[in-house]
């Protein structure tokens, strides 16, 4: 007979207390932090017990205080947060790190050590443990289940070398899960791909997956396959000119039809093509069609590994005819499917040049271009223009509709002239306020001290990476290049340098002050600009304005006018500084449309020139005359547009709402005349009219002039 067993009766508890035995000692004068994290997106519902277990550590943390008033703070990262991310990339961990630095935290409680990091090169771990040791912060990992009742509570006191090493071992073990289990799963996935099985990759339009798991097969999805065949034939008709094809597709409402619900249940369609809800699917990148026509899956080929040339032929049904695909592949790639070079390569006709040095522009990467509408995006790049063997740098603005692939040039602004306008404005503001340099220094000192708390992890991470790079260099010097370890050290160096670059970029984007020395350098510049500025290199000049300006933005108002808005550091200028900048060379217009030509036919012979300008608001009288010469249409009555010969109606009434840019027609024309007289296409391509004076004292005069019916612009430069 088996040993008798007596049942012990108890009531259901929301969460049992598995923390038996003596509780560890903590600093009860400081807060205990509970960090919660789940790696997988949606794990807070699919693995709810894991989350509940971690949240339950708050009750355990309260027990640690005994009879004292508990101080427990939850740092909940939620689900879908990778432990491989840096401290500053995880908002709640970054908040915890800042509180550690402030001395608020005395203890950190975790369900497992890997909740805090899965860090390959230990750079994040080192930064964390160094601060924990300095602030005497303990990490506690208690048993979390009745099944773990025989496990002891782990307490890491980083002032103890043994505890530090034990924690570091756990961190290596945490990343080992990525390098071990996850790597194993990826290898299994690769094994499936090697046999021609579907491995979860994106599919080109016309292909879909049917079946479950190991029984999945790639099949034709005919509604999209039909469109893909039409598209390929159209590309062939255009001689594989992808630029022209992109523009044609841009004019379409959609390229591939919406997928019915019954098809979604039957097939798995993984695609990179953007979905327009209720309409269909359409690419958003100008590279997409080129990639599709060189995707060998469209002819039934399967490449198990992108890094290897091996392909499985006839792995699945083909969407495109082999001859058609092979022709397009060769024209777009410059070589055949067999790797033979061809002469009639239809590759990219415009090759982007990569600069070895950054362009000599103060606001490269900083200048913002206002989108003309909510459904468009804009961006600015640098553009080098060479004319008569003379090189000039420009800020080149582009615009792109959100559901379109192609972007188009929108504005071109002479770079040096634009930078000079901002520099001269700074000097004017400084001349109007002799205390500016001291106020800037005081403000930046305060910013530096505040950033030391708000973004403490970033400089410490950078310093930690520099230390590791030094150690890496020492190891490489002692290791032969033929040793397999050398390649691993090279990989570690590359990864660390990428992290360092990313952190430096983030620091720059946040406008973080490097050091008190940098503040002193800027103070000396503002106190003696004329002599100090020439000694600055490009990086120092860009850095100076990065600290002095919070945001600099331009808005295209009309072909000739742009609106410049500068949000200076408050110590420089406490209000938004706005100028209207006249460009001697207007934005390049499109060809005259058929609708515009019809307006010319009807109105050019006898209609008043101002009415014609209003009917063709983006055209100057000069450009209209050029078009009439091509069309053979002559003016029957005399027109004397005067200054209006070189401007368009939008230059006077930008919003086409009857409101002139500067209050009325006469005032607007006067400012345009002034701008024209102060500009020349090469010598002085820009002229700025500042809306407000340099000092607040001058605002009273502006109000009086405005009430008196006079102009309200402060000055021009």
Closest CA to 322 of 305, 308, 336: 336
Residue 12: predicted pLDDT: 52
pTM: 0.69
Same structural domain for residues 146 and 266? no
Tell whether the model's pLDDT for residue 716 goes beyond 60.
no
What single DSSP character describes residue 351?
P
Give CA angle at 438 (567, 524), nearest 5°: 95
Residue 344: predicted pLDDT: 67
Strands ordered across the beta sheet of 390-401: 376-387, 390-401, 408-414
Span between the terminal Cα atoms of the chain, in Å: 105
Is-contact 278 438, C-beta < 8 A?
no
- Residue 584, Cβ neighbours under 10 Å: how many? 20
Is-contact 624 600, C-beta < 8 A?
yes
Same structural domain for residues 166 and 240? no
Closest CA to 407 of 231, 248, 250: 250
Same structural domain for residues 517 and 456? yes
570 lies in some domain = no
Domains contained in the chain, number: 3
Residue 706: predicted pLDDT: 45
Same structural domain for residues 216 and 157? no
Residue 351: predicted pLDDT: 41
Read off the tokens for 196: 């021609």
Residue 598: predicted pLDDT: 92
Band of pLDDT at residue 349, cut at 50, 70 and 90: very low
Kindly report, residue by residue over 33-43, the tens digit of the pLDDT. Answer: 999 999 888 88
Among 94-108, 583-597, 701-715, top mean pLDDT goes to: 94-108
247 lies in some domain = yes
**Which domain CATH number covers 98?**
3.40.50.1390
418 lies in some domain = no
Is-contact 253 235, C-beta < 8 A?
no
CA gap 548, 567 in Å, rounded = 9
Last residue of a domain, one of 333, 354, 371: 333
- Mean pLDDT, the chain, integer: 85
By CB atoms closer than 10 A (0-12, 13-18, 19+), residue 716 is: middle
**Which domain CATH number covers 281?**
3.90.1750
Whole-angstrom CA distances from 444 to 418, 513, 644, 701 are 26, 7, 48, 32
Strands ordered across the beta sheet of 561-568: 368-369, 549-556, 561-568, 577-583, 686-690, 715-716
Same structural domain for residues 47 and 176? yes
CA gap 563, 553 in Å, rounded = 8
Whole-angstrom CA distances from 491 to 497, 498, 500, 502 are 10, 11, 14, 17
Tell whether the model's pLDDT for residue 53 goes beyond 60.
yes
Residue 356: predicted pLDDT: 61
Same structural domain for residues 38 and 102? yes
Domain that holds residue 314: 207-333
Same structural domain for residues 233 and 294? yes
59 lies in some domain = yes
Count CA atoms within 13 Å of residue 637 on its CB side.
Answer: 8
Interacting residues of 668 by C-beta distance below 8 A, sequence separation 6+: 652, 660, 661, 662
Residue 11: predicted pLDDT: 56
Last residue of a domain, one of 536, 551, 583: 536
Among 44-48, 185-189, 273-277, top mean pLDDT goes to: 273-277
Q: Diameter of the chain by CA atoms?
A: 123
């Amino acid at each position: 007979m088996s040993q008798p067993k007596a049942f012990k009766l108890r009531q259901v508890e929301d969460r049992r207390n598995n923390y038996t035995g003596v509780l560890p000692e903590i600093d009860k004068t400081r807060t205990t932090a509970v960090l919660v994290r789940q790696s997988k997106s949606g794990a807070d519902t699919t693995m709810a017990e894991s989350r509940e277990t971690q949240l339950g550590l708050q009750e355990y943390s309260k027990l640690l205080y005994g009879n004292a008033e508990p101080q427990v703070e939850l740092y909940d990262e939620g689900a879908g947060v990778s432990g491989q991310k840096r401290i500053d990339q995880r908002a709640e961990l970054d908040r915890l790190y800042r509180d550690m630095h402030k001395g608020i935290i005395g203890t950190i409680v975790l369900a497992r050590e890997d909740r805090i990091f899965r860090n390959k090169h230990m750079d994040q771990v080192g930064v964390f443990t160094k601060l924990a040791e300095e602030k005497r912060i303990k990490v506690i990992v208690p048993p979390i289940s009745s099944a773990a009742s025989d496990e002891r509570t782990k307490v890491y006191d980083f002032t103890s070398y043994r505890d530090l090493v034990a924690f570091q071992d756990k961190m290596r073990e945490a990343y080992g899960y990525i390098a071990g289990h996850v790597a194993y799963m990826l290898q299994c996935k690769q094994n499936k791909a090697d046999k021609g099985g579907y491995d979860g990759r994106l599919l080109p339009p016309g292909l879909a997956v049917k079946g479950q798991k190991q029984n999945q097969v790639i099949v034709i999805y005919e509604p999209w396959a039909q469109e893909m065949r039409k598209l390929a034939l159209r590309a062939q008709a255009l001689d594989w000119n992808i630029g022209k094809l992109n523009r044609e597709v841009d004019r379409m409402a959609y390229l591939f039809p919406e997928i019915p619900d019954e098809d979604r249940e039957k097939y798995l369609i993984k695609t990179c093509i953007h979905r327009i809800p209720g309409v269909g699917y359409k690419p958003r990148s100008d590279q997409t069609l080129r990639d599709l026509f060189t995707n060998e899956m469209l002819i039934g080929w399967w490449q198990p590994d992108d890094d290897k040339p091996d392909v499985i032929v006839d792995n699945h049904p083909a969407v495109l005819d082999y001859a058609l695909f092979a022709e397009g592949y060769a024209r777009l790639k410059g070589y055949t499917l067999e790797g033979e070079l061809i002469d009639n390569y239809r590759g990219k006709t415009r090759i982007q040049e990569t600069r070895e040095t950054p362009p000599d522009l103060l606001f490269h990467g900083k200048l913002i271009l206002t989108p003309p509408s909510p459904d468009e995006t804009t961006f600015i790049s640098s553009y080098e223009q060479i004319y008569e063997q003379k090189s000039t740098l420009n800020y080149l603005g582009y615009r792109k509709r959100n559901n379109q692939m192609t972007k188009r040039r929108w504005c071109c602004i002479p770079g040096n002239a634009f930078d000079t306008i901002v520099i001269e404005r700074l000097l004017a503001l400084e001349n109007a306020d002799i205390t500016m340099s001291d106020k800037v220094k005081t403000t930046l000192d305060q910013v530096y001290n505040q950033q030391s708390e708000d973004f403490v992890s970033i400089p410490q991470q950078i310093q930690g990476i520099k230390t590791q790079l030094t150690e890496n260099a020492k190891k490489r010097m002692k290791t032969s290049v033929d040793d397999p370890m050398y390649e691993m050290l090279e990989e570690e160096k590359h990864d660390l340098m990428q992290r360092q670059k990313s952190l430096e970029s983030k620091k720059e984007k946040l406008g973080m002050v490097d050091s008190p020395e940098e503040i002193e350098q800027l103070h000396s510049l503002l106190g003696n600009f004329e002599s100090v500025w020439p000694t600055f290199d490009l990086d120092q000049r860009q850095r100076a304005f990065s600290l002095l300006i919070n945001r600099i933005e331009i808005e295209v108002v009309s072909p000739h006018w742009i609106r410049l808005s500068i949000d200076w550091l408050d110590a420089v200028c406490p209000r938004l500084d706005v100028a209207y900048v006249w460009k001697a060379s207007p934005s390049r217009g499109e060809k005259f449309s058929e609708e515009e030509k019809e307006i010319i036919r009807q109105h050019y012979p006898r209609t008043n020139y101002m009415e014609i300008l209003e009917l063709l608001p983006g055209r100057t009288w000069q450009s209209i005359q050029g078009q009439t010469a091509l069309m053979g249409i002559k003016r029957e009555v005399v027109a004397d547009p005067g200054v209006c010969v070189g401007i368009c109606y939008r230059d006077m009434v930008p919003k086409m709402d009857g409101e002139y840019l500067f209050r009325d027609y006469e005032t607007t024309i006067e400012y345009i005349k002034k701008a024209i007289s102060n500009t020349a296409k090469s010598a002085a391509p820009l002229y700025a009219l500042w809306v407000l004076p340099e000092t607040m004292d001058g605002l009273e005069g502006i109000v009086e002039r405005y009430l008196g019916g006079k102009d309200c612009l402060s000055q021009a430069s």
